[in-house]
Amino acid sequence: MTAATDGERMDAVRRAPVAVVVPAKDEAARIGVTVRALRGLQGVAAVVVVDDGSSDRTASLASSAGAEVVRLERSYGKADSLMSGLGRVAGLQRVGRLSPDAVVLLADADLETSAGDLGVLVDPVARGEADLTIAAPPSRETEGGGLGLVIGLARRGVEELTGVVVAHPLSGLRCLSPAAVTAATPFARGWGVEVGMTVDVLDAGLVVREVPCDLRRRVTGGDWRAQVHRAAQYRDIALALGVRRLRRRLGPT
């Protein structure tokens, strides 16, 4: 009986349709390799690349690699790009090209071949063991970059609002069940998307799990551009947390 149950679970994982959403801006050098790696993941039925106002060939190269492409004429930022990608996923579901029970994998455009390691995020969601999985990167990927203040704000905020400790609240590599997509959307603005998503999914009584994931990617540096980027992250995360604190004070509407 146990062997049969395990086999049924593994078969469910193999059959689980996966839609991947990839926000991308000026990633012509990497997007083709990333898309091909994502399309090679088990169960992937569609890869949707949202070109966030790129000035290079990101859109055409993503299309050539086999992605569905949503082209934004100017840059709207990550949260809006993800929402646009989910809109295309919903469109594919309406016309029968994608199952309505598909899970959604959120990936970054710069992962290249390491995008092929993201299957570990899909499996727990496909098996019904989690509604939201979050990639926990190797320790070498979290070192440097001066993100201590931003990560600290995000961790404290999620724990304060939900009582749950999330070690990697800024990780954008995630997989969501249909229920988690419903709970998390519309996303918090800008760089608050991950923190807002985590709080909203936990508030809905759904299961969040962090999953170790071996990835190779760029780490934010310490120059003035990186400092400006972190300041924007801090602002957006603080806003996302503030909105959710206000909701609690106001109560159900």
What are the two backbone dihedrals, phi and then psi, of residue 119, each rounded to the nearest 5 degrees?
Answer: -60, -25
Of residues 119 and 221, more confidently modeled: 119
> pLDDT tens-digit profile of 192-235?
999 999 999 999 999 999 999 987 655 555 565 767 778 999 99
The residue type of 241 is L
Least confident of 13-17, 141-145, 154-158, 167-171: 141-145
- The reported pLDDT for the residue numbered 216 is 62
Residue 43, phi-psi category: left (phi > 0), alpha (psi -120 to 50), beta (remainder): left
For residue 11, is pLDDT > 60? Answer: no
pLDDT digits (tens, 9 = 90+) for 167-201: 999 999 999 999 999 999 999 999 999 999 999 99
Contacts of 8 (CB under 8 A, 6+ apart): none
Query: What pLDDT is recorded for position 198?
Result: 98
Q: What angle do CA 89, 92, 98 make, to 5 degrees?
A: 95
How far apart CA 181 and CA 178 sit, in angstroms, is 5
Question: Which of 12-26, 54-68, 122-136, 219-233 shows the lowest per-residue confidence on average (mean pLDDT)?
Answer: 219-233
What 3-state class would DSSP assign to 246? helix
Average pLDDT over residues 237-249: 95
Does residue 2 register a pLDDT over 80? no
Percent of the chain at pLDDT > 90 equals 79
* pLDDT at residue 147 in the model: 62
The confidence score (pLDDT) of residue 228 equals 79
How far, in Å, CA of 215 to CA of 253, rounded? 42
Architecture per CATH, domain 2-141+164-218, reads as Alpha-Beta Complex (3.90)
Average pLDDT estimate for 35-54: 97
pLDDT(1) > 90: no
Please work out, in degrees rounded to the nearest 5, the angle formed at the alpha carbon of residue 72 by the alpha carbons of 180 and 17: 35
Residues 152-157 have a mean pLDDT of 97
Predicted local confidence at residue 158, as pLDDT: 98
Average pLDDT, the chain: 89
pLDDT surpassing 60 at residue 16: yes
- Cis preceding linkage at 186, omega within 30: yes
